[in-house]
Chain A
Amino acid sequence: MSDDMDFEEGGTVKKFMFVNRKAPYGTIYALEGLEVVLISAAFDQDVSLAFLDDGVFQLVKGQKTDGVEMKNFSPTYRALEGYDIEKLYVERESLEARGLSEDDLLVDVQVMSAAEMGDMMSQQDVVISF
């Protein structure tokens, strides 16, 4: 990982991190955030996703949304691999504060401390939070 931008085939490749902080259904941030992530895949950038605070709930297994008449969009997180988006980072403190562990999540993630997450953010060129 370098701090400088890499140039491939004349195009700029930047390190993009999308930071997901909100629960999946109370507000629209998670759903619209995911839409940005999917679009970013078309730009051949170095994309990663961070999940912290209530954002960790976005990745919890077994979401059932019929009762609130909203679409369960959690299967989309499983499809991210197909878009070459494979760097999913989850903050350990946020999981623990909510009684969750890695086993409760529906995709493979890298769990890291808040301090490590901070380091990861400082290495990015672009950080967009939802």
Chain B
Amino acid sequence: MKFSIMVSEGPYTHQATDSAYQFAKAALAKGHEIMRVFFYHDGVNNGTRLTVPPQDDRHIVNRWSELGTKNNIDLVICIAAAQRRGLLDENEAKRQGKNADNIAPGFRISGLGQLVEAGIQSDRLVVFGD
């Protein structure tokens, strides 16, 4: 089955992002496809490469990057939600006149249409939120 996932909560503050990751891993292990993970609301914070968790804790951002790259999953951060919360890729940083960008490898920034498209093109869209 072709799945897409929406993550609506930030890393470390809420279980939703851990559950989404474990779901994705389990689905892939069963031979399913994860087409896209769409990060919305505070979920966009899953994609900042400046995250530095304590060494004895899971690295949620790197974990997504690895899972996405290894399994060819489209990791999309909503641009409108990202801009409000200070997440920028290189192009957006230039466009907004900011001197830094902070998108983690394997993620890309795009519009909300990507969420609706994921709903249309996937067999199931699974929402992980509060």
Report yes or no: B112 in contact with A35, Cβ–Cβ below 8 A: yes
Tell me the complex Cα distance, A127–B126, Å. 9
Contact of A113 with B by CB under 8 A: no
User: Known: A128-B6, A129-B129. Is A43-B116 also a contact (CB below 8 A)?
Assistant: yes
User: Known: A35-B80, A45-B120. Is A126-B125 also a contact (CB below 8 A)?
Assistant: yes
Contact of B60 with A by CB under 8 A: no
B-side interface mostly:
helix
Q: Mark A1-33, 1 if CB is under 8 A from B, else 0.
A: 000000000001010100000000000110010
User: Known: A39-B111, A42-B113, A43-B120. Is A128-B127 also a contact (CB below 8 A)?
Assistant: yes
Chain B residues near A36: list those with CB within 8 A: 40, 112, 115-116
A-B interface pairs (CB < 8 A), number: 50
Query: Which of under 10, 10 to 19, 20 to 34, or 35 or more describes the interface residues of A?
Result: 10 to 19
Chain B residues near A32: list those with CB within 8 A: 40-41, 80-81
Q: Mark A113-130, 1 if CB is under 8 A from B, else 0.
A: 000000000000111111
Contact of A40 with B by CB under 8 A: yes
Report yes or no: A43 in contact with B117, Cβ–Cβ below 8 A: yes
Chain B residues near A40: list those with CB within 8 A: 116
Chain A residues near B106: list those with CB within 8 A: none
Tell me the complex Cα distance, A12–B2, Å. 15
Closest Cβ neighbor of B114 among chain A residues: A39
Closest Cβ neighbor of A13 among chain B residues: B120
Report yes or no: A28 in contact with B116, Cβ–Cβ below 8 A: no
Tell me the complex Cα distance, A111–B23, Å. 35
Tell me the complex Cα distance, A128–B8, Å. 11
Contact partner of B41 (CB less than 8 A), chosen from A12, A29, A43, A125, is: A29
- A-B contacts, 17 listed (Cβ < 8 Å): A12-B121, A28-B84, A29-B8, A32-B40, A32-B80, A35-B80, A35-B112, A36-B112, A36-B115, A39-B111, A39-B115, A42-B113, A45-B116, A128-B125, A128-B127, A129-B127, A130-B129
The interface of chain A, by Cβ under 8 A from chain B, is: 12, 14, 16, 28-29, 32, 35-36, 39-40, 42-43, 45, 125-130
